[in-house]
């Protein structure tokens, strides 16, 4: 790994790592006696490990100039492995917290193991750990191919990937210790947020450098989405996380926004994290891997233009539908509702474009579980965007808000769309990248597909039922004009659905573990092939379009 | 035939970046910016008091333990909600809440009108083991709050950071933050009187966890739970006015 860096890149790496060590050390010292201290030690440890890693390979021979004839895929390979590790961690914690809602005493009698601290480990673990790493890994791969140029240097992608994982690690460990801003999906505190800004700006600059060096006159549609993802997430992250730390020695900060302004900023962030992290980024993935795997061109160029600009424009208005009937001014709620409904047009344009792309390849969908993952992802994308627009209507929202219906909706998108498109893309990508003929076991892909689909369906149906029952019970009146059910009645009614939900999650988690085994065995297969001298190590001139 | 205009945009990396930024910024600007300037966004509440240092510490424990993930503090103006929980929430009630804790999910009930509804002893028992008082509850137990000593040495810094983001704490409040936290949970001590002077005579000054000798995280959290929705009477007045 280090052997592929040039000497000057190794030196830069050492300097960066030294800064990270110093940063960790100053956090550990200034934060002594505060929760910031242990976080500092984590940074310090990460920096020292990195230093050892670079030093151990420092005197390895420099890579030859022939490296420039090949795409640089090592960061993507590591990114895929990291994504799978986070997937298992995040989904395991998800199943655990789901079980806690059915059996609240199935836990340790300690702060770190309580529902409130574990829940963000689940959400951040799957969104940022699994999703983020998958996006970074695939974006490196896709941008090189679609721009027909190599990554401009070999250090920046490592900085982006590993720096991002340091952020994820700080976030997850912080939640367990009780560090949180309480802003949903933006829980990490100020020091981790600042670090993410540094990493993310580097990511953006890297992307732009690749675009600038492209040998292809036009920017391919997958890159539009990846770029929108990187750019808008930067804007959202910076604005929503503006905060005043109580001191440099404390992990605690207070948001720059209060009350209603905070609510609007938070859901402008929250909804667009869904839009640009969980939608735009993964649409980029879909626009590259689906046509490649199906062997069909994208159905309509114009549809992709309409849906791209529609999504970037309309989504940014929709956040206020999370605040229907709250103390947010009515006109903002109405705007949010209106744009949420209009959003259905570009969303279905994307989903339709994806499904129409499969025309002429449906026999492949039948036989190939990898492509079927992508097809089902597009279907769930269409379904959950329809559901989202529907739930944003004020009258519907009065029933669905605060209930499990929202949770079901999120998981229809997260499991059905985000995770499925990722698994499909990974199953396509892993053999390409490790230069094996196919995945280790196509049958395991098939098993994973049915586990994932069954898990998603069980989960979503359980939450639809519980959510709608909950919402109806809360608003049911007796003949005498009083409320028919106490709150606890509605909770008792949820019990069977909470068990079903945990079971659905368990199925999905099992599928992810199967995927890990399959990816691991494929990598082993590739190593054996290299040892046996077959393929693998032969320099491959970058072929156009691949 | 003239070249399709989008073909040109696609050839320009920087142009494309600027187009995305422009396209994506409009919605946020139109919806968020006015909230900071339009006075009508937040109602006046002249009787509004600030959290005491102990209550603020309790609120931070509420945040730390992720209570907001299952409990909302935002009652919507719907008949069933007002009858179940109390007067619907006003924007003004959370104007000194950085960050707001409106919540988005009710795995447990809304807490916006929780203050004063139950006794301190009920809250302590409930937090120690929710199933002792509500057998069907699925809430976690929070036993460690009763034994963890509350950190109070940095409360002055907390208040001063809050002031920097717009909460009008006075110099005197900041200077006495640590003493006020001790005083509020120890009614017989000599630091108790200052709390009422600075935060109003109606402020709860009690041994919230039943043990005045030790200031615990339980003291702070119960002090906070007892003041939720009690900082101003504006919501009660508004609902009463609507009914007349």
| Span B37-72, pLDDT tens digits | 766 677 778 889 999 999 999 999 999 999 999 999
Residue of B28, B40, B161 with shortest CB distance to A254: B161
Which position has the token pair 């036989």?
A: A367
Per-residue pLDDT reduced to its tens digit, B178-218:
999 999 999 999 999 999 999 998 999 999 999 998 999 99
Residues 19-48 of chain B with CB under 8 A from chain A are: 20-21, 23-28, 30-32, 35-36, 38, 40-42
- Cβ neighbors of A267 (< 8 A, separation 6 or more) are A319, A320, A322, A323
HSE (side-chain half, CA atoms, 13 Å) at A151: 25
Look at residues B27, B51, B119, B241 and name the one whose alpha carbon lies nearest to residue A319. B27
Per-residue model confidence (pLDDT) at position B244:
67
Judge whether B107 is closer than 8 Å to chain A, CB to CB. yes
Joined tokens for residue A113? 């193991």
Per-residue model confidence (pLDDT) at position A2:
80
| End-to-end CA, chain B | 70
Q: Are B110 and B68 in contact (CB under 8 A)?
A: no
Given a cut of 50, whether residue B79 has pLDDT beyond it is: yes
Joined tokens for residue A448? 């994973």
Is residue A538 very low, low, confident or very high in pLDDT (cuts 50, 70, 90)? very low
Q: Are B169 and B242 in contact (CB under 8 A)?
A: no
The dihedrals phi and psi of B149, each to the nearest 5 degrees, come to: -70, 140
Do B30 and A317 count as a contact with CB atoms less than 8 A apart?
yes
Per-residue model confidence (pLDDT) at position A480:
94
Do A258 and B96 count as a contact with CB atoms less than 8 A apart?
yes
Which position has the token pair 């490790």?
A: A434
Which position has the token pair 């498109």?
A: A421
The dihedrals phi and psi of A254, each to the nearest 5 degrees, come to: -115, 135
Per-residue pLDDT reduced to its tens digit, A396-411:
999 999 999 999 999 9
| pTM score | 0.95
Which position has the token pair 């209060």?
A: A258
- Cβ neighbors of B53 (< 8 A, separation 6 or more) are B152, B155, B158, B159, B173, B177, B178, B180, B181, B184
Is residue A541 very low, low, confident or very high in pLDDT (cuts 50, 70, 90)? very low
Q: Could you report the predicted ipTM of this complex, rounded to two decimals?
A: 0.94
In DSSP terms, which residues pair with B115 in a beta bridge?
Answer: none
Q: What DSSP state is assigned to residue B167?
A: -
Given a cut of 70, whether residue A540 has pLDDT beyond it is: no
Per-residue pLDDT reduced to its tens digit, B133-169:
999 999 999 999 999 999 999 999 999 999 999 999 9
Average pLDDT over residues A280-307: 95
Helix (H, G, I), strand (E, B) or coil at A402: strand
Percent of chain B scoring above 70 in pLDDT: 97
Q: Are A197 and A263 in contact (CB under 8 A)?
A: no
Average pLDDT over residues A311-334: 94
The dihedrals phi and psi of A184, each to the nearest 5 degrees, come to: -60, 135
Distance CA A101, CA A501 (A): 10
Helix (H, G, I), strand (E, B) or coil at B97: coil
Is residue B7 very low, low, confident or very high in pLDDT (cuts 50, 70, 90)? confident
What's the mean per-residue pLDDT of chain B? Answer: 92
Residue of B95, B144, B166 with shortest CB distance to A110: B144
Which position has the token pair 């109070």?
A: B152
Q: What DSSP state is assigned to residue B212?
A: T
Per-residue model confidence (pLDDT) at position B38:
67
* Surface-to-core class of residue A383, CB atoms within 10 Å of its CB (0-12 exposed, 13-18 middle, 19+ buried): middle
Distance CA A141, CA A40 (A): 33
Look at residues A167, A107, A103, A173 and name the one whose alpha carbon lies nearest to residue A136. A167
Per-residue model confidence (pLDDT) at position A226:
96
**Range name among A1-10, A192-201, A284-293 with the lowest pLDDT average:** A1-10
Residue of B100, B103, B138 with shortest CB distance to A491: B138
Q: What DSSP state is assigned to residue A243?
A: E
Which position has the token pair 């003929």?
A: A437
- Cβ neighbors of A167 (< 8 A, separation 6 or more) are A128, A188, A192, A195, A196, A199
Per-residue model confidence (pLDDT) at position B35:
82
Is residue A295 very low, low, confident or very high in pLDDT (cuts 50, 70, 90)? very high
Per-residue model confidence (pLDDT) at position B210:
92
Do A101 and B138 count as a contact with CB atoms less than 8 A apart?
yes
Q: Using an 8 Å CB-CB cutoff, list chain A residues near B95.
A: 258-260
Sign of CA dihedral A211, A17, A177, B226: negative
Per-residue model confidence (pLDDT) at position A542:
47
Q: Quick one: closest CA in A to B151, which residue?
A: A34
Do A180 and B160 count as a contact with CB atoms less than 8 A apart?
no
Average pLDDT over residues A62-77: 91
Do B80 and A332 count as a contact with CB atoms less than 8 A apart?
no
Is residue A366 very low, low, confident or very high in pLDDT (cuts 50, 70, 90)? very high
Given a cut of 50, whether residue A535 has pLDDT beyond it is: no
Is residue A180 very low, low, confident or very high in pLDDT (cuts 50, 70, 90)? very high
Per-residue pLDDT reduced to its tens digit, A496-523:
999 999 999 999 999 999 999 999 999 9
Is residue A426 very low, low, confident or very high in pLDDT (cuts 50, 70, 90)? very high
What's the mean per-residue pLDDT of chain A? Answer: 94
Per-residue model confidence (pLDDT) at position A494:
96
Helix (H, G, I), strand (E, B) or coil at A440: coil
Joined tokens for residue B39? 């006075």
């Amino acid at each position: 790994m280090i052997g592929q860096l040039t000497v000057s890149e190794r030196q830069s790496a050492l300097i960066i790592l030294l800064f990270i060590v110093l940063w960790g050390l100053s956090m550990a010292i200034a934060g002594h006696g505060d929760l910031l201290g242990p976080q500092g030690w984590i940074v310090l440890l990460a920096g020292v490990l990195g230093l050892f890693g670079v030093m151990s390979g420092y005197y390895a021979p420099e890579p030859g100039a022939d490296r420039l004839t090949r795409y640089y895929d090592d960061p993507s390979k590591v990114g895929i492995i990291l994504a799978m590790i986070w997937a298992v961690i995040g989904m395991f914690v998800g199943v655990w917290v789901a079980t806690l809602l059915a059996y609240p005493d199935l836990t340790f009698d300690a702060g770190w193991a309580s529902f409130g601290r574990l829940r963000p480990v689940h959400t951040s673990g799957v969104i940022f750990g699994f999703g983020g790493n998958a996006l970074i890994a695939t974006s490196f791969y896709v941008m090189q191919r679609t721009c027909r140029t190599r990554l401009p240097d070999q250090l920046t992608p490592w900085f982006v990937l590993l720096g991002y994982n340091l952020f994820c690690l700080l976030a997850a460990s912080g939640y367990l210790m009780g560090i949180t801003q309480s802003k949903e999906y933006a829980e990490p505190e100020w020091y981790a947020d600042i670090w993410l800004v540094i990493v993310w700006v580097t990511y953006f600059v890297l992307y732009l450098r690749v675009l600038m060096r492209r040998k292809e006159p036009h920017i391919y549609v997958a890159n539009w989405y990846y770029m929108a993802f990187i750019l808008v997430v930067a804007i959202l992250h910076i604005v929503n996380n503006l905060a005043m730390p109580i001191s440099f020695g404390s992990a605690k900060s207070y948001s720059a926004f209060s009350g209603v302004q905070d609510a609007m900023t938070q859901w402008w962030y929250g909804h667009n994290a869904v839009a640009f992290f969980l939608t735009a980024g993964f649409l980029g993935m879909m626009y590259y891997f689906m046509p490649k795997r199906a062997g069909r061109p994208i159905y309509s160029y114009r549809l992709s233009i309409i849906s791209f600009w529609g999504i970037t424009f309309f989504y940014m208005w929709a956040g206020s539908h999370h605040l229907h009937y709250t103390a947010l001014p009515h006109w903002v709620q109405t705007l949010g509702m209106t744009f949420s409904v209009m959003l259905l047009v570009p969303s279905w344009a994307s989903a339709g474009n994806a499904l129409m792309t499969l025309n002429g390849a449906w026999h492949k969908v039948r036989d190939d579980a990898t492509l079927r993952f992508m097809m089902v992802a597009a279907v769930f994308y269409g379904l959950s965007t329809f559901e989202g627009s529907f739930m944003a209507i004020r009258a519907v929202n009065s029933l669905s808000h605060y209930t499990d219906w929202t949770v079901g909706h999120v998981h229809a998108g997260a499991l059905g769309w985000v995770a499925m498109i990722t698994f499909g893309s990974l199953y396509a990508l892993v053999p390409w990248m490790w230069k094996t003929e196919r995945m280790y076991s196509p049958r395991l892909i098939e098993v994973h597909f049915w586990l994932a689909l069954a898990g998603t369906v069980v989960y979503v149906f359980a939450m639809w039922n519980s959510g709608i029952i909950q919402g109806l019970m809360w608003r049911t009146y007796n003949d005498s004009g009083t409320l028919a059910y106490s709150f606890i009645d509605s909770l008792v009614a949820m019990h069977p659905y909470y068990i079903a939900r945990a079971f659905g999650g368990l199925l999905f988690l099992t599928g992810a573990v199967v995927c890990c085994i399959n990816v691991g065995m494929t990598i082993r297969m590739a190593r054996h092939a290299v040892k046996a001298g077959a393929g693998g190590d032969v320099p491959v001139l970058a072929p156009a379009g691949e | 035939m003239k070249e399709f205009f989008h073909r040109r945009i696609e050839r320009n990396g920087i142009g494309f970046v600027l187009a995305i930024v422009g396209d994506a910024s409009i919605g946020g600007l139109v919806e968020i910016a006015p909230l900071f300037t339009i006075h009508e966004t937040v109602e006046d509440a002249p009787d509004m008091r600030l959290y005491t240092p102990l209550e603020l510490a309790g609120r931070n424990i509420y945040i730390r333990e992720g209570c907001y993930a299952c409990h909302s503090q935002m009652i919507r103006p719907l008949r069933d909600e007002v009858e179940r929980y109390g007067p619907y929430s006003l924007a003004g009630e959370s104007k000194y809440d950085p960050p707001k804790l409106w919540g988005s999910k009710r795995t447990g009930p809304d807490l916006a009108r929780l203050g004063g509804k139950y006794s301190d002893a009920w809250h302590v028992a409930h937090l120690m083991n929710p199933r002792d008082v509500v057998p069907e509850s699925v809430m976690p137990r929070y036993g460690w709050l009763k034994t963890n000593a509350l950190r109070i040495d940095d409360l002055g810094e907390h208040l001063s950071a809050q002031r920097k983001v717009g909460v009008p704490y006075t110099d005197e409040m900041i200077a006495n933050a640590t003493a006020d936290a001790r005083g509020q949970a120890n009614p017989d001590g000599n630091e108790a009187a200052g709390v009422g002077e600075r935060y109003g005579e109606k402020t709860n000054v009690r041994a919230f966890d039943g043990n005045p000798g030790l200031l615990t995280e339980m003291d702070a959290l119960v002090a906070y739970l007892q003041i939720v929705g009690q900082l101003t009477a504006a919501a009660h007045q508004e609902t009463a006015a609507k009914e007349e």
